[in-house]
Structure 1
Amino acid sequence: MVNEIGGGKYGYQELLTDCRELTQAYPFVTVHTIGHSVLGKPIVALRCGTGTRSIHMNGSFHANEWITSALLMRFVGDYAASCAEDRSICDELASRLHEETTLWAVPMVNPDGVELAQQGALPAHPFYSQLMEWNEGRESFADWKANARGVDLNDQFPAHWEEECQRREVQAPGPRDYPGPYPLSEPEAMAMANLTTAQRFDLTVALHTQGEEIYWNYRGYEPKESEQLAERLGLVSGYKPVKLTGSDAGYKDWFIQRFRRPGFTIEAGRGENPLPFQQLPAIYESVKPLLVEALSLHREREL
């Protein structure tokens, strides 16, 4: 259930349409507003499941990685349909997963940034002058990763944020890599932190692009089983688990440090961002079994 539109893009309006159609077709899937973007757009979360184990998945922290929103929405749609029809999804009985877990999916963390990446800065935009300056006068915002205030939302979390600032050496708003004036300064990042703190997820998966890699560690804060779990995710998807160093202040980093639970960043697909929308079906074939595996990882262990 992913609406493909002219121009081969998947944006905020398509997301809202899909959420509406999804919840109408499957009333056991509910939509929640977890916060608002800088420009006031509701940041929506989809909830599916009745189980005690809480799993979180998100997409489009980075604006030019908007294809991850389409990936996640397609997955939620497939999962909901499998639950309704009492059939399997990637060899897992969907109704069993629904009973064992509760999935919270935030398909588009950064709706303002996605709009910029896809449409550019229109003269009516409230930050038009600043955005054009931050983008060095370029009319194309296709490479834009940040939110509407030029802050990289995946450098916003209080996990060695100061060290990330020193590493990035970006001290002003721009298309990418500016961590902001202080941690959680941006409403989108705060919304994600608040949701995560309230729900205390047992496991998180953040979808990014690209590289076909799985990042599973953070400075030794991760639980000992995280590497093995990453190998399982890699086995079903063909993606390569990678022990990452030299990166801080991301959502996955903060989640692992704060809760000492498994968190994963998935770099989906290959190529140059933004990945062409035409690659969605092929990328989804790899990502779908990975996301199903993430829902079932708990069976052999308890946190």
Structure 2
Amino acid sequence: MDKSIVNPLVPYAYENLMREALLLRERYPELIQLGSIGKSSEGRELTVLRLGEGERHVLLVGAHHGREYISSALLMRMCEEYAGRAGLRPLWRRVSLWFVPMLNPDGVEISIYGKSALTEENRDFVCILGDYATWKANARGVDLNRNYPCLFEEKRSTVLVPASEMYKGERPASECEVQALMAFTRQIPFCFAATFHAKGEEIFYGDSNTPETTDISFEIAKTLQSECGYALAPISQDPGIFAAGFENWFRQEYKRPCLLLELAPFDGYIPHNMKNFDRLVWQKMRETGKILAEWVDNK
């Protein structure tokens, strides 16, 4: 049996992702395609992996936030696991899983390596919680999941300047990472999308701005809940809280379901010790991508 390529037991930095993505493509050239949807503000590739060749498409996005690189490790581990299961080969002829494991590689680098990962002109940005390990924003001090053009003006925040978190930016879709993901969703007819975040063990499936997607999103969320046991969040009602996130924008733009999954137990804002990856995340979320692909395949 081949040795595993993806190592999710260490802080999952950009270099880990790039190295392991290349190795996955080399091991499974008939199943995995590797590309980029664009570049971050500091020029890092926004890597995308396509598993399968099917014409039904599912999008999975990790690490909108720098400190949430556990989601990147999860998506990379999923990709490897599913590629290696011979019994899933027929599914990948009908469905394609697209992984964008690390939308915010600059923020991940800041969270892992600290202030030294910030450029000279950006080192004066306020680190709100005082520890750079808690950094959420991109390198320009914008929280990417508050920057989408969905009720942007209604989004409330007490942070009005670039910082480690909470700042939504000067205008909607001001950030190149957000622009890249939006453009990518316009190229591929995704039936379904999900974003993966770090803490809370909760599934967000609907908001008051897009009631037309609620029933189908609830159906998918319930299917996942039966596997992982996560709580279902109530439908988000206040745009001051929920607006300008990717999932809200995707549902508004395409009238298709999109979930936000908070992964591990909440214990504060410092990232979890990755040595506990299996217990915290993998044991519950291992089948998530497969379940979503099967759901789409059966519709």
Which residue does the alignment assign to 1:65? Answer: 68
Partner of 2:277: 280
How much does 1:286 deviate? Answer: 0.8
Question: What SS class does the counterpart of residue 76 from structure 1 fall into?
Answer: helix
Shift of 1:178: 0.7
Give yes or no for the alignment of 1:16 onto 2:5.
Answer: no
Partner of 2:249: 254
- Give aligned pairs, total: 285
Q: By how many angstroms is 1:4 displaced?
A: 5.4
Shift in Å at residue 203 of structure 1?
A: 0.3
Corresponding residue SS for 1:47: strand
Aligned partner of 1:99 among 86, 93, 98: 93
Correspondence list, 1:154-193, <5 A: 154-164=145-155, 167-193=156-182
* Equivalent position SS for 1:222: helix
- Aligned partner of 2:127 in structure 1 is 135
Show the counterpart of 1:236. 227
1:121·1:132 contact (CA, 8 Å) conserved in 2?
A: no
1:291 paired residue number: 289
C-alpha displacement of 1:112 = 0.4
- Runs of 4+, deviation exceeding 4 Å: none
SS at match of 2:213: coil
Residues 213 and 242, structure 1, Cα contact 8 Å, conserved in 2: yes
1:48 is matched with which residue?
Answer: 51
Give 1:2 deviation, angstroms. 1.6
Q: Secondary structure at the match of 1:112?
A: helix
Question: Does the C-alpha gap of structure 1 residues 4 and 76 become closer, same or farther in structure 2, counting only changes over 3 Å?
Answer: closer
Determine the C-alpha separation between the residues in 1 that align with 2:7 and 2:184: 27
Q: What's the offset of the Cα at 1:130? A: 3.1
Q: 1:214-263 CA deviation, whole Å, 9 max, x = no partner?
A: 11112224253211211011001111221242311101110011101110
For residues 188 and 128 of structure 2, what CA distance do their matches in structure 1 show?
A: 40
1:188-207 aligned at under 5 Å gives the runs 188-207=177-196
Q: Distance in 2 between matches of 1:297 and 1:96?
A: 14
Q: Output the amino acid matched with 1:68.
A: S
Whether 1:222 and 2:222 are equivalent positions in the alignment is no
Residue 152 (structure 1) shift: 0.2
* Aligned partners of 2:47 and 2:100 also within 8 Å: yes
Whether 2:146 is the aligned partner of 1:150: answer no
Q: Check 1:136–1:54 CA distance in 2 against 1; reply closer, same or farther (3 A cut).
A: closer
Distance (whole Å) between structure 2 residues aligned to residue 299 and residue 150 of structure 1: 39
Q: Which amino acid aligns with 1:276?
A: N
Closer/same/farther in 2, CA of residues 26 and 299 from structure 1, 3 Å limit:
closer
Question: Superposition RMSD on alpha carbons, in Å?
Answer: 1.7
Give the % identical residues: 31
Q: Once structures 1 and 2 are overlaid, which stretch shifts more, 140-149 or 269-278?
A: 269-278
CA spacing shift, 1:29–1:172, aligned 2, 3 Å: same
* Structure 1 residue 288: Cα displacement: 1.4
Task: Tell me the TM-score normalised to structure 1 length.
Answer: 0.89
Give, in angstroms, the shift of residue 95 of structure 1.
1.3
Counterpart for residue 37 of structure 1: 40
The SS at the match of 1:120 is helix
Q: Deviations over 1:133-182 (max 9, x none)?
A: 422695x4111100000000001111101111xx2132111111111111
- What is the rounded CA distance, in whole Å, between the counterparts of 1:137 and 1:211 in structure 2? 19
Contact 2:202 2:231 (8 Å CA) reproduced = yes
Match of 1:2 in 2: 6
State the Cα deviation string for residues 30-75 of structure 1 (Å, max 9, x = none).
Answer: 1111100000011110011111110000110000011110011000
Seen in structure 2, the aligned counterparts of structure 1 residues 221 and 148 have a Cα distance that, compared at 3 Å, is farther
3-state SS of the aligned residue for 2:160? coil
Show structure 1 runs of 5+ residues with no match. Answer: 88-93
